[in-house]
Structure 1
């Protein structure tokens, strides 16, 4: 395999190993719901350090990663800030931000991405997949880096996303209207990819039941041609609504209409449980309307996902969404659209997936995860990392507003059909009109109006709904975290760093239990940290180098017995600099104690 060379590669090749561990520090006031480090997370801090902080909790457990790193166009003003101990790279720190005139900007970008991708590789589950957006500036270098880290054989595809839907006013004759989405698997043989519902099925059966089966609800009252009582007199008869009242098919203008099927057909739907009554507003009052629920054919309605994504919303829609949520779209220059993340979730994230975004920006990933859970009742979790100062005011604030709802006055629009008007479409104008009529029949009650327009050679049908006062929230919780001071365990026994007992204990307890330490439970004099989920955690430690090198700092048989005696029915995990008793002896004497050596504790990965 061809290897990519760039200045500084030898210095950053294993830099991810030298990054110190910094514990996650929850800020309950900035999240929603109780603090839960194993739930949804928004982390403010350098993403390299945040990824290291996540390793003890999530190594080998992340199902899907999406990142949108700097494209290195020369106009973004990003900075190379990694603390790599090499004279050449130390000089780089003095020439920030990285601009278009920087002759080493491509090398700096590669040096920035390398250790982050190494850590992301460690966080991925064996079946996990990573998606990375990029453009022509670094796409070829990024592909080579990923081939080295993930393996050339694990390159799934490079997707093309059409990010703009109107020509840019460029000085040259070519419009760069797409981005790439690189996709690599941790192990392509273990990766779990889903197939997409065929577009024809998506259009005809836009809803999903609790089992994911596509369906549509059709208004039982006939609309359009031959929809009057006189057209089919036998199909004009009353049905009993859920309140016990008789309902006849009546058009909005008061004319007597007819049902779309006779009594036998309606009885079949009643018996099958597919006669659905919905409460809708009609002529200024709420009434019951009957619908028939129709499922897609039992034959597999799926097909492989294409690599060209021209059917996904563009950045224009992404900015419009930010404008709805915040009242302005100027908060973020290049937001990604929720529909782009929906596509990625559809491909590679089951309904209980952990989805990580370490360049979180405007929090599109969290929005898409919450929306997907609301749509299908899933339990997906997101982890966002953002290093900029807007991590609270933009990233986390969008999550708060999406969860709780937000003030909004205007028109919410949902595109329901986009059809290019070529000769074939025009020659089948009746079929196209019937398709639009079907949309109006199926979804007319969900919107204030169905807008139909021809723009740039396309027929676009959009559902519009006037929203006043407040947009409904999606529900959910998340924990907001910052990064604590570095805890460098490999330097503890040399005395280079001697963190306080509470600081070191919090990091180790978190690593061992996936939960935050309760300071009230700590008994420093007894070396006790706390308990969680069937185990007690102990730390034999004092911030005193001479004491750490003495026999007093070791786990002995007597001390192990004393720890176990405090709760014989539970497991006891003991962090200590040394031990004078073997694990074999502890097992032979049925002492439920496990020893973990301090200098290596944070590099110990539990992949269970």
Structure 2
């Protein structure tokens, strides 16, 4: 740069020297450092169903989208146009003036420039209701995501907890469009166009996030990960940014050099974000092996070992009444006198649990009726499975050790079942782990849990390239919203609809009411587009639109997964992995080593030879004298000498973790007797496994499907668009209850209500400001209301009415929002075109 200064100083003409120095100084001030890319021509959106009107921008249907004209008049089926004014695109070379040209109406296509004022509405397309009436509705919007983001900014600015997006990866494989042209590897501006495309959307997305606790997640691969990182640094300078590496294909994809196995998720955390720890950090070895050290153990209520017969502790032989349908304990009975026999006939109806041993003999419970009632009231007792062999129920409880750990804060109660009253417990945060920045889980495989899962839902006809693993998406979003049960989540690159599927699964697992908003266009693939054009079809035709991504993939997947069945009535097959660990009863394993005489095992060397045959039991545990092996660190145990069985059983009494037993004896009767005694002593083992959910069960959720449309400003200004913007008001109020529709209400024959009070909803609308009294009557005493919309152009009048409404509702709805229509709507969308 000093060389340029030297050259400028050598210019003889002082005026020219001063002008060049000034221009160079200004250039230095405006020079971009770091991430540099062109802004490119404004993006254009074709509106295939719109009729051209004066002032619209249009292009020829068979021409390039970016060759636009401005409509001067429309008359008798003829559109007269001129080139836009020279200052319409100041970043381009000046356009020469042109004479007006005329086209038939059918020849032209209305287009919108991204950034020009829009007045959106949502046209209902379809809906599926499979949840309670008061459950908030998910939303699917078929639209270009830039204009949809402008709409969402009006509805939810500063209210979104998490944005999760999977944008086009810009691999050069014609996977996205810029101005209706596919961007492929031959486009020298491919990276620049992608950055301009993303920057526009990220600016709008940022306004949606909660300023303190909102989080943006963007998934990407190696083609744009570094560019995207720099772009996020520029657009989110106040956020804490982290990069997560996710193994999505353990086999890897060979690319002639290294085999790629991963993709990335970039997180932008707003300043107030803290993440809850979890028992799975997504990198350490899978939870199953070490789960017994992470999950508090529920013990068998049936006593084992010594004093386990009825006559040993007669006061501990009593019935427990159960409700088989709800799988809950109803009551605790009194001890049955020793000289009386229990009525076992009710056991066949599974209505009573008695302490019956494995051999059918009467045993006893570990605690007395009064103590068990106290534990039941606390939720420390629960019903296990029905044991067909014993003909009774298994009853589990939290023993003294677990109770003391709860009191000491080592174990925490995280939930309580509304029906059974039993508690869900876990070790406290000290036992939890922070999520790592490298994720390696088999469930994140994009083939098995992305492509294959989608085919299982839609059938072989459902085509979509590279869908995300359902569980990778769930884990990415859950990292942020696990402790936000009513979070609002947005995905404006919705693709196949994986994000909604993941949110519904998360809600079903933990009882949350998180709400998801999906946005996707209805593009067809390049191959399908060529085939459709060969049949003289074009965008906007019904057959063309039916093959678009939203209508052929996103909506069907979302609908089928909510209902658990397809449109033809066939049920979805397979199961979801919920990510929630449950304990299942599993019989302990017993192996008779009958080919060895215990008498010959008289040296440690011979015993080691036997141990060498057992997986998971090291020979180093053999130390003379050694009649048996029991280890705190191993799940197998072996008895070498049946004469030491009593000592072995006594040592096993506190070793519930042992699941595999090996008994050296050639006598079957000895083996069977010891097997019965161990089962009585320890009962079945409780094995942690991931809970599964049948896909055919669907989800108790609701979903509304809309298509974005545009309104004429004059209709809005003249307050003639209430029907069209009514869905927006419903969404702005939180999408609570069924979507209301405008129809003739009991308003004494009025064509439109002066006060719109939809049933089962949380908002009302005053359409005639002179009827405030009727509004006040409608809202008086009404609870659960969040929004009141008042139609008026008079700011002072609105402030007065809003104050009166808030005062009336102050106690019942202290957080009530009062919104001015249509001014609020118009002001939001009167945005100027960006100038470069």
State whether TM-score is above 0.5: yes
1:222-241 correspondence runs (5 A): 232-235=305-308, 240-241=319-320
Q: CA distance change for structure 1 residues 58 and 270 in 2, over 3 Å: closer, same or farther? A: same
Shift of 1:154: 0.8
Equivalent residue in structure 2 for 1:400, among 537, 559, 564? 559
1:387 maps onto 2:469 in alignment:
no
1:46-65 correspondence runs (5 A): 46-65=144-163
Shift of 1:68: 0.5
1:300 maps onto 2:430 in alignment:
yes
1:276-291 correspondence runs (5 A): 276-280=382-386, 282=388, 287-291=392-396
Contact 1:19-1:49 at 8 Å conserved across structures: no
In the TM superposition, what whole-angstrom CA distance separates every residue of 1:283-341 from its partner, at most 9, and x where no partner exists? 6x985222335644446322322111113622133134334434449633322223223
1:358 maps onto 2:501 in alignment:
no
Which residue is 1:225 aligned to? none
Q: CA distance change for structure 1 residues 146 and 478 in 2, over 3 Å: closer, same or farther? A: same
Provide the C-alpha distance between the structure 1 equivalents of 2:222 and 2:742, rounded to a whole number of angstroms. 50
Contact 2:137-2:701 at 8 Å conserved across structures: no
Which residue is 2:711 aligned to? 487
Which residue is 2:741 aligned to? 518
Shift of 1:267: 8.8
Contact 1:31-1:480 at 8 Å conserved across structures: no
Which stretches in structure 2 are left out of the alignment for 5+ residues? 1-31, 44-90, 92-112, 311-316, 322-350, 403-424, 523-547, 566-570, 583-615, 622-630, 637-656, 661-683, 780-787, 807-817, 831-836
Which residue is 1:347 aligned to? 479
Q: CA distance change for structure 1 residues 392 and 204 in 2, over 3 Å: closer, same or farther? A: same
Q: CA distance change for structure 1 residues 432 and 474 in 2, over 3 Å: closer, same or farther? A: farther
Contact 2:733-2:763 at 8 Å conserved across structures: no
Which residue is 2:381 aligned to? 275
Provide the C-alpha distance between the structure 1 equivalents of 2:802 and 2:367, rounded to a whole number of angstroms. 75
Shift of 1:256: 8.4
Equivalent residue in structure 2 for 1:179, among 263, 269, 282? 263
Provide the C-alpha distance between the structure 2 equivalents of 1:387 and 1:476, rounded to a whole number of angstroms. 23
Which residue is 2:791 aligned to? 574
What SS class does the counterpart of residue 263 from structure 2 fall into?
strand
Provide the C-alpha distance between the structure 1 equivalents of 2:789 and 2:429, rounded to a whole number of angstroms. 54
Provide the C-alpha distance between the structure 2 equivalents of 1:464 and 1:63, rounded to a whole number of angstroms. 27
1:503-514 correspondence runs (5 A): 506=726, 509=729
Shift of 1:373: 1.4
Shift of 1:399: 2.4
Shift of 1:70: 0.8
Provide the C-alpha distance between the structure 2 equivalents of 1:80 and 1:37, rounded to a whole number of angstroms. 38
1:26 maps onto 2:134 in alignment:
no
1:148 maps onto 2:234 in alignment:
yes
Contact 1:167-1:177 at 8 Å conserved across structures: yes
Equivalent residue in structure 2 for 1:333, among 439, 449, 465? 465
In the TM superposition, what whole-angstrom CA distance separates every residue of 1:480-530 from its partner, at most 9, and x where no partner exists? 11112x13649977xxxx996456654775687566663325999889573
Contact 2:121-2:725 at 8 Å conserved across structures: no
1:73 maps onto 2:205 in alignment:
no
Provide the C-alpha distance between the structure 2 equivalents of 1:298 and 1:35, rounded to a whole number of angstroms. 36
Provide the C-alpha distance between the structure 2 equivalents of 1:352 and 1:591, rounded to a whole number of angstroms. 27
1:194 maps onto 2:276 in alignment:
yes
1:100 maps onto 2:185 in alignment:
yes
Which residue is 2:224 aligned to? 138
In the TM superposition, what whole-angstrom CA distance separates every residue of 1:436-468 from its partner, at most 9, and x where no partner exists? 949x93248x8xxxxxxxxxxxxxxx9999x8x
What SS class does the counterpart of residue 365 from structure 1 fall into?
helix
What SS class does the counterpart of residue 115 from structure 1 fall into?
helix
Equivalent residue in structure 2 for 1:314, among 427, 445, 452? 445
Paired residue total? 513
Shift of 1:240: 3.7
1:530 maps onto 2:747 in alignment:
no
Provide the C-alpha distance between the structure 2 equivalents of 1:236 and 1:268, rounded to a whole number of angstroms. 20
User: More relative contact order in 1 or in 2 (CA 8 Å, sep 6+)?
Assistant: 1
Contact 1:509-1:529 at 8 Å conserved across structures: no
Which residue is 1:226 aligned to? none
Q: CA distance change for structure 1 residues 165 and 267 in 2, over 3 Å: closer, same or farther? A: farther
1:246 maps onto 2:354 in alignment:
yes
Provide the C-alpha distance between the structure 1 equivalents of 2:802 and 2:703, rounded to a whole number of angstroms. 44
Q: CA distance change for structure 1 residues 473 and 464 in 2, over 3 Å: closer, same or farther? A: closer
Provide the C-alpha distance between the structure 1 equivalents of 2:429 and 2:118, rounded to a whole number of angstroms. 54
What SS class does the counterpart of residue 191 from structure 1 fall into?
coil
In the TM superposition, what whole-angstrom CA distance separates every residue of 1:91-144 from its partner, at most 9, and x where no partner exists? xx4xx2111122121122112212211221111111210101001111111112
Contact 1:3-1:148 at 8 Å conserved across structures: no
Provide the C-alpha distance between the structure 2 equivalents of 1:125 and 1:160, rounded to a whole number of angstroms. 25
Q: CA distance change for structure 1 residues 32 and 511 in 2, over 3 Å: closer, same or farther? A: closer
Provide the C-alpha distance between the structure 1 equivalents of 2:692 and 2:764, rounded to a whole number of angstroms. 55
What SS class does the counterpart of residue 197 from structure 1 fall into?
coil
What SS class does the counterpart of residue 767 from structure 2 fall into?
strand
Shift of 1:371: 1.4
Contact 2:507-2:513 at 8 Å conserved across structures: yes
Q: CA distance change for structure 1 residues 172 and 568 in 2, over 3 Å: closer, same or farther? A: closer
Contact 1:159-1:180 at 8 Å conserved across structures: yes
Shift of 1:46: 1.6
Contact 1:193-1:347 at 8 Å conserved across structures: yes
Q: CA distance change for structure 1 residues 597 and 31 in 2, over 3 Å: closer, same or farther? A: closer
Provide the C-alpha distance between the structure 2 equivalents of 1:383 and 1:149, rounded to a whole number of angstroms. 23
